[in-house]
Structure 1
Amino acid sequence: MKKSHQRNQTVLITGAANGIGYELAYIFAQNNYNLVLVDIMPQKLADVADKIRHQFEIRVKPIVKDLSINTSPEDIFAELQQESIQIDVLVNNAGFGIHGLFSETNLNTELEMLQVNLVTLTHLTKLFLKDMVRKGDGKILNLASAAAFQPGPLMAVYFATKAYILSFSQALARELENTGVTVTALCPGPTESAFHKRTGLAGARQIESNNMMDAKKVAKIGYRALMAGKTVAIPGLKNKMLAEMVRFIPRNLVTKIVKNMQEVT
């Protein structure tokens, strides 16, 4: 990967302790960005920060925060302002899902999901975007999903949150034309991470039948798209084809297909 010369630039990455967030942190470190890493898991986050510090001559600031708490975005923003840390790139990577019939899933878990996937992402974007626009330079990467392109029975709330992220990112990218600030929505399909185990999807047909993409590969595609100022990045030819195909399939058939894929065998 080509090295850049951004020693004075800083990226904030949420959900940075594992999966795509960790791989993105590593790529930004390789390209001489200072890091602000946010995650809920203190030990894992500390281990990641130490590992990166030992390999790269950059500043790494870990922040342990539960992003399902509505005051967390303001807390993060205030802490960075107090330390005069300017964020040049914002990566809204944190998110999670829950699998099951909506009539039977846990309401509190879904409300926390909405907070993390939607509200915190929107709140952090609002807080850091104003300075980016003011200085005429900045980049935002929002983690959507291939799930953003269709409804998702058995993961109804999760799919809806990803549709919001895609729509929000595309609209924002258009608003920010000619400001020097770009917004990119990364829309990966099933990716090797702890996500599927936590969600309860480990035995679903789509996981059992698919070769999941490596998190490192997804992160590289997302990073390159972000640097190129692309609005939407869909890793993998199969995912790109599926995203296009659902536009031409009757919606009631789409939901039937997705439900079948989501069912645990």
Structure 2
Amino acid sequence: MGTALITGASAGLGLEFAWQLATARHDVVLVARDAERLERLAAQLRAAAGVHAEVLAADLTDRADLERVAERLRSDERPVGLLVNNAGLGLHQRFVTGDLAREEAALDLMVRAVLVLSRAAVEPMVRRGRGAVLNVASVAALTATGTYSAHKAWVRTFTEGLASELHGTGVTATVLCPGLVHTEFHERAGIDQHVPEIAWLSPERVVATALADVRRGVVISTPSLRYRLGSGLLRVLPRAAVRKLNEPRRALGFGE
């Protein structure tokens, strides 16, 4: 993979991606808004893993910042072999009564940024004949829990289409669809975490599964048997039945 660029690298799954890739001897480009937190992480990765860790502080909802990250991905002098589109946020609000500005920011972060950065990454990858894109979605993509589900459904479908388009180029696209994961995400989003422990996954397991699937060229990566079974059920249920699951699934922390 060479160098990996990870968005949302300062916390949650992004932080775990940074550590697992660095300890596997990959150089990393760390992208998030908090420059101070990124610098601390970069220093830790350099000291512990002996890799090159580059900091790129950026707010991906800002067009100028997004373009700076895209330019880094286009660089042929310092090629990126793996893009991890991980940055995201939980709105924890209803669309009709919620803050529209937050909705627009979420759309920019979880849809527009994925679109722009994927395009910036795959162009040089295809020229080189190797590379990979890993987009983080969610099993919520198969539910009907508001705009979060809609964003993640877009990421899932977009990545499947991208994988088809890249077939035969030496470049792959994988979409990661985890369920509930023990990270800062739910706490930051204000989502109730009083859920049976069996429903939760560890970030270590989720990231290890995702990276293994990227190496094997898997298109849809769903960590854990229980979430693979749950995803299969959601795909075959009538959509009217899926919509009726909306309130219970919101209680489990999927979407707003």
- Please classify the TM superposition score into its range, dividing by the shorter chain length: over 0.9
Distance 1:121 1:80 in 2: 13
Q: Compute the displacement of 1:234 (Å).
A: 0.4
Aligned to 1:208: 195
Aligned to 2:180: 190
Matched letter for residue 249 of structure 2: M
Matched, 1:230 2:218: yes
Aligned partner of 1:248 among 230, 233, 236: 236
User: Residue by residue, what CA displacement relative to the aligned partner does 1:15-57 show, whole Å, maximum 9, x if unpaired?
Assistant: 0111111111111112211110001112221111111010122
Aligned partner of 2:32 among 31, 34, 39: 39
Aligned to 2:248: 260
Aligned to 1:66: 59
What is the SS of the residue equivalent to 1:90? strand
Distance 2:76 2:166 in 1: 28
Aligned to 1:20: 13
Aligned to 1:221: 209
Alpha carbons of structure 1 residues 264 and 228: separation in structure 2 relative to 1, 3 Å: closer
Matched, 1:176 2:166: yes
Q: Compute the displacement of 1:80 (Å).
A: 6.3
What is the SS of the residue equivalent to 1:224? helix
What is the SS of the residue equivalent to 1:161? helix
User: Residue by residue, what CA displacement relative to the aligned partner does 1:70-96 show, whole Å, maximum 9, x if unpaired?
Assistant: 222211233566793211111101111
Distance 1:158 1:33 in 2: 31
Distance 2:126 2:137 in 1: 23
- TM-score normalised by structure 2 residue count: 0.93
Q: Compute the displacement of 1:10 (Å).
A: 0.7
Alpha carbons of structure 1 residues 81 and 174: separation in structure 2 relative to 1, 3 Å: closer
Distance 1:210 1:261 in 2: 16
Task: Say if 2:5 and 2:84, in contact at 8 Å, map to a contact too.
Answer: yes
User: Residue by residue, what CA displacement relative to the aligned partner does 1:129-150 show, whole Å, maximum 9, x if unpaired?
Assistant: 1100111100110001111112
Matched letter for residue 106 of structure 2: M
Matched, 1:98 2:91: yes
Identity %: 30
Structure 2 gap segments, 5+ residues each? none
Distance 1:143 1:33 in 2: 20
Matched letter for residue 188 of structure 2: R
Alpha carbons of structure 1 residues 229 and 79: separation in structure 2 relative to 1, 3 Å: closer
What is the number of equivalent residue pairs in this alignment?
Answer: 252
Alpha carbons of structure 1 residues 79 and 237: separation in structure 2 relative to 1, 3 Å: closer
Task: Say if 2:73 and 2:120, in contact at 8 Å, map to a contact too.
Answer: no
Alpha carbons of structure 1 residues 157 and 65: separation in structure 2 relative to 1, 3 Å: same
